[in-house]
Amino acid sequence: MRGRYFIVYLTLRLTGARIGEVLMVDDTSDIDFREQMIRLPNLKRHKHKGEVRWVPVPASLIGEIAVYLTEHPEMRGKLFKLDDRNFRRTFEKIALEAGLPRDLAHPHILRHTRAVELLKRGVPVAAVQALLGHASLATTAAYLRLSGQDIKTILRDRGLL
């Protein structure tokens, strides 16, 4: 299943973008293959709506896109043009088959996953805010909640336990 749906999934997972943002990507102009960046529109209804942000992505994602477009040149310019509802239904079906609870079986969970992953790896909250296209730092800060185990590990790593 290494097709368009897989590439959209990877793009969601590795950018933390909203599904609507990813489905608006134009593979002919919004991907910088050399610099490994994807341009995403900002769709939220705030002062930054309509702006774009360039998000760095792993070489593996750029490679998947390049291979797909090489094998399917007729899809150039259409790679990300999927039906939102159909993608959501397919995502939910696969997530449920994989054993995820229904409340986590939606594409937006990948946005949360990316935010938490970046913060746990020490990426500054302001950088995560920019990558996700949040207007307010408070929105990004919601991902900073730590579990009791996280706190214990941090204290142990710093020699405080």
Instruction: For residue 80, give Cα distances in angstroms to 28, 69, 112.
Output: 11, 11, 21
**81-95, 118-132, 138-152: least confidently modelled range:** 138-152
Pick the catalytic residue from 39, 44, 81, 106.
Answer: 44
pLDDT reported for residue 125: 87
Cα–Cα nearest to 68, from 12, 17, 60: 60
**What SS3 class is residue 54?**
strand
pLDDT reported for residue 12: 97
User: How open is the CA angle 30-33-37, to the nearest 5 degrees?
Assistant: 60
pLDDT at 146 exceeding the cut of 70: no
* 145 catalytic residue (yes or no): no
Pick the catalytic residue from 13, 18, 53, 114.
Answer: 18
pLDDT digits (tens, 9 = 90+) for 54-82: 999 999 999 999 999 999 999 999 999 99
pLDDT reported for residue 51: 81
Q: Where are the domains of the chain?
A: 4-157
* 143 catalytic residue (yes or no): yes
Residue range 4-157 forms a domain whose CATH class is mainly alpha
Pick the catalytic residue from 49, 78, 108, 120.
Answer: 108
* 134 catalytic residue (yes or no): yes
**With contact defined as beta carbons under 8 Å apart, do 102 and 96 qualify?**
yes
Pick the catalytic residue from 13, 53, 111, 114.
Answer: 111
